[in-house]
Structure 1
């Protein structure tokens, strides 16, 4: 079986399982901790996405360059030095994230979040734990990017599935057997986040081609890559801003309880990504290799086939989720109050995410071609953000 097909199958299996793990335990989280505490989990998820801004394009850079180097012979030493150099930078960013969240925790607890049941002290403790959770989980995406670039997606998905099972199932056991508190929840997330990062890092280094000399940190790698990383970082920042601005603004404009309902709806709508991410993830490094080899015919054929597959997956699923949101939410949560407050926004967000999902593969092809098309993506995302942010504020303040 061709490697691309094996990777697509592995990605579907891995993404399907991790999506199941992320969705299956939410009703239990709410049952054990309460709606407000789950609102903090939703806030953590948003912060996890926002802090990707500090990625500086590094995870995409390592994926792009490892995919390119894998298509060229005699590049093992260069690939290993690339990973070692960027690994140092990424762990430094993880430390920075932990410090930032520790310092901002009192302000966020007292001036930003609108809690009615949780005390400011509990909020501060939870926010500090959130910062540490993000910090230890942070390098996971770097190592994942490296494995994706090497097209080692089968082993990545196996490790990811195991970690997500332990993350969700272990959290439920902790809440049930140890303490049904938000603090206990995040302590477990810290433990499993560190285990996941170490496991994936070890796997990446074992997957890199052997070289005659030991990998080392090189400033020349940073000098050669900073322009590409800066462009990717700018594009990533704008894409994240477009996809997260609604949640960031709503976490300030509405109560934590209402934000929890919105987070629930957003989680359901974002499940659409699990249909198309496996295809896009498998095709992206192959796009880069074919661009490097200047094989336009095979590149065009692969791209059009991928677009057809993604459209066939997204359209029927989005229609079912949008028109039967009440029944699906009730079957999933068994909570009529949650369904009453979340079903309409779920339907609307599903349709929005469906349209957004259709942009994935064109964006991947653009990025595979390098700097010129990345700049086009930057301008497109900037225009979207300038329209979306005022629209969210106006709609929320005038219509609730």
Structure 2
């Protein structure tokens, strides 16, 4: 138990470091390269997310297949043969992306982006964006191997090295060598190459280690083929593609309809909202293999415990922060950046983007249910219907209402998906599943609204940035303490169990 606690603590410490260092350095990078150039950094984040569509869910399928293939050495060897074929496909796609990126950068990058930067700058940076993706793309299958082996420490350490190279080291190079956006992306490419090298080397080591640790058995086993893997991946890949389209279509449209300098401020709000991933990414990293293994081994009590405690954790960490931002986002951004223009602009978007992201994390619990049980068919169909409505609406709203309308619609659409499909699945898969909403989410939200509304009415506004930040931190933290106290009191009245008819 102590070992597991240390691992979880390490994983979260790296994620906290990643979020804090990324957010903390944003004002300094903007100061060096300017708003227009930083808009390219925001476009880079969108492009990386959109190109992840090429993973097509294969990473998730490989992780699950690696887990279920560990029943014998022969089964895992057959999986390894398929894995090696997938690697070749990924390398081919990566090279193709680089070539296509060169064509896109030359023909369309300046046409798409509304910026005062020179054609040469935009084309060079856009080409490097595609090359960075190609290099990072190759590591995808190896991360699946590490995830299936629950190599949380290794994954987190590699992430730590990458974020250090891509953020503080990049800033240092910008300060001491060349203070321009082209050099920024050159350093990003170098960081991506080192990250991929570490992942591939350790992934190969783990793959061999697993094979040597397994024993042969005499059970009749079906041969695994790459065709079977891809057929099994169809539902997950469709879901992954839809998720990327839904979540990036609004941002991609904004890069077309907004000035790049103004989009830079919107992207700052998106970057600050990325603190959500401090909670959700390690949670996924830990829960996906454990829930899948617990379900496969029919250890339903353990499954329910993992799921419920994770839900408590998200309520405790994210709900108070989401409500807090509706009352104090501008003050927080000003204390952080010292830039009145940035704080005023980004605070119009931040609360809505953050709350929409929190609903996305809660909706992800529905995905975890379906993924671990191997039943993604209906989940994929629902998300398909959702995307048919949301994607055209994203483009229309981005064109007509720009950043404010887009951020509000993102929040509303995310909440709609959660309160319809996810709540239905909570009730379907769990006895007393509605307690997740009625006894946890709604009361916690009301408590936070009341508390932060009261504190806001006191008009506590220190003039010093550091003191202001400390006061705001204290207000937010005290909200979480109140929520923790409520969860402690209510936990014994929540008796959620997995319905065996769905297991």
TM-score in terms of structure 2 length: 0.74
| Count of residue correspondences | 390
Relative to structure 1, the CA distance from residue 76 to residue 397 in structure 2 (aligned partners, 3 Å threshold; closer, same or farther) is closer
Residue 232 of structure 2, aligned match among 217, 220, 228: 228
Whole-angstrom distance in 1 between the partners of 2:165 and 2:363: 32
Whole-angstrom distance in 2 between the partners of 1:129 and 1:204: 26
Partner of 2:22: 22
Whole-angstrom distance in 1 between the partners of 2:211 and 2:66: 15
Deviation (angstroms), 1:192: 1.2
Gaps in structure 1 of 5+ consecutive residues: 213-218
Deviation (angstroms), 1:205: 1.5
Deviation (angstroms), 1:220: 5.9
> Are residue 249 (structure 1) and residue 253 (structure 2) matched?
yes
> Are residue 9 (structure 1) and residue 9 (structure 2) matched?
yes
Deviation (angstroms), 1:260: 0.9
Partner of 1:42: 42
Name which of structure 1's ranges 313-322 and 242-251 shifts more when overlaid on structure 2: 313-322
Whole-angstrom distance in 2 between the partners of 1:350 and 1:324: 13
Query: Could you say which structure has the larger radius of gyration?
Result: 2
Name which of structure 1's ranges 80-89 and 48-57 shifts more when overlaid on structure 2: 80-89
Relative to structure 1, the CA distance from residue 374 to residue 297 in structure 2 (aligned partners, 3 Å threshold; closer, same or farther) is same
Whole-angstrom distance in 2 between the partners of 1:122 and 1:261: 20
TM-score in terms of structure 1 length: 0.92
8 A contact 2:250–2:398 mirrored in 1: no
1:138-159 deviation digits (Å, cap 9, x = unpaired)? 2233322221111001111012
Name which of structure 1's ranges 384-393 and 194-203 shifts more when overlaid on structure 2: 384-393
Partner of 2:285: 281
What aligned pairs does 1:74-223 form with structure 2 within 5 A after superposition? 74=73, 75-116=75-116, 118-208=117-207, 209-211=209-211, 221-223=225-227
CA RMSD in angstroms, aligned pairs only? 2.0
Relative to structure 1, the CA distance from residue 5 to residue 86 in structure 2 (aligned partners, 3 Å threshold; closer, same or farther) is farther
8 A contact 1:235–1:378 mirrored in 2: yes
User: Helix, strand or coil: the match of 2:225?
Assistant: helix
* Greater length-normalized contact order (CA 8 Å, ≥ 6 residues apart): 1
Deviation (angstroms), 1:3: 6.6
Partner of 1:383: 385
User: Helix, strand or coil: the match of 2:150?
Assistant: coil
Whole-angstrom distance in 2 between the partners of 1:150 and 1:185: 35
Partner of 1:398: 400
Residue 308 of structure 2, aligned match among 300, 304, 311: 304
What aligned pairs does 1:284-363 form with structure 2 within 5 A after superposition? 284-363=288-367
Deviation (angstroms), 1:223: 1.5
User: Helix, strand or coil: the match of 1:25?
Assistant: helix
Residue 241 of structure 2, aligned match among 233, 237, 243: 237
Whole-angstrom distance in 1 between the partners of 2:163 and 2:64: 26
Deviation (angstroms), 1:194: 0.7
Gaps in structure 2 of 5+ consecutive residues: 213-222, 403-503
Whole-angstrom distance in 2 between the partners of 1:86 and 1:393: 34
1:160-219 deviation digits (Å, cap 9, x = unpaired)? 11221111112112211111111111111111111110111111121223547xxxxxx9
